[in-house]
Amino acid sequence: MLELEQYDISTEFGFLTELPLERLTNPYYNPWEKFLDNLNAYILHRTVRKQVNNKLPHLSIDKLANEREMRRAYLVLSFLGHAYIWSGEPVDRLPAQISDPWIAVSKALGLPPIATYAAVCLWNFKKIDESGEFTLDNLTTINTFTGSVDESWFYLVSVCFEKEGAFSVKVGLDALNSAETGNTHSLIENLQQFAESIDMLGSVLMRMEEMCDPHVFYFRIRPFLAGWKNMASVGLEKGVYYGDETTPRSYAGGSNAQSSLIQFMDILLGVSHHATGDLTADSSFLTEMREYMPKKHREFLQDLEPHTFTIRDFVKSQNNEELTLAYDACLAMLKSFRDKHIQIVTRYVVLQAKKVNKMGSGSTLRSGLAREKKEEKGTGGTSLLPFLKQCRDETGSAAAGSWGKRILTDGMLRLKYSKSNGINED
């Protein structure tokens, strides 16, 4: 069994840091924290670059005392960096007072210098009532770009998703242990609980619609989360130059694909993903997204990978109808979760993108991904809907039972039929 503690994972909080540091207390870093205090106003008045260029000092990371402080510094510099690039028409060079410490702290944490899922979600929340329970209703964000309720809610739903997913991690590893020890009765119970936990995660995801308006998300929040990989169509031809570097850097922006929990579920259930549109090549995008995860979480997934087919192979070897049904139920719930994700993306990105052409030249100023003529890519830089639909369809292909395989792979079969007959499924 893998010892979760050595990977900075717990059965209570999952992949979350229990409570992130809210502020760097060393006075040396006051300029960073004060800048972030005013970031919403600087973005509002489009003065981010002027304030950075004229007033932000060049600070070293040498006075950061521990990893918790380094995570906070990484978050601060991620917000500063993205605000600098995406406030107004994008620029392709970061000043050294942002890029140098950002590169240094990223190297120390084993992360790329870009605003990752870890920065804006895993390390960006606090309790409203410190003595209260860890629930969505008692959480708020530490920092946002816009200062809006919608942006806070967007991050907090992911925080709650990761917290609730702690049970999925525990019961999933229990299931793996049951399969490895040949305990069929225990495995059935574990898989039933795992299926229920995935269903619960889908319910958490759908809470996005309660307090995050799709229009606000698409035109106000999403542009700041984009990276600088595959972004030529929205203003960054080659990527971004960091400080005085002569070669541009190209990084994907924050994406839910950087959630270790989602990849954990795929590995545990033996779900394989492929390059979008190619059912033979491995998905390089999902493999790449691991480089954007905290180092120890990435190592956890790597150490789990040798067990990818342990549960599936054991289920198929037992010829036990109840066991097969429990396993296929997990896949059904995971596929349903991906259906819900597609629903969210359709409402928050695809339908909003269709509004762009209807907005005249006199409409609100927009930049970056908010001015796309059509939905083409996510903040991670990949083609959005084709990628998500293929991930969903591939989920069912791991089914152990013949009935489950027929039902769960219907989407995949329909996709293959449509392509072979020249039919556009969309």
CA 390/CA 117 separation, integer angstroms: 22
Contacts for 65 with CB less than 8 Å, ≥ 6 apart: 26
197 and 167 in contact (C-beta within 8 Å)? yes
Given a contact cutoff of 8 angstroms between Cβ atoms, the answer to whether 215 and 148 are in contact is no
Could you give the CA distance from residue 131 to residue 73 in angstroms, rounded to a whole number?
A: 26
The reply, when asked if residue 215 is annotated as ligand binding, is: no
Return the ∠ at Cα 196 (arms to 190 and 202), rounded to 5°.
140
Q: Which residues belong to the annotated binding site? A: 341
Q: Which residues belong to the annotated binding site for heme b? A: 341
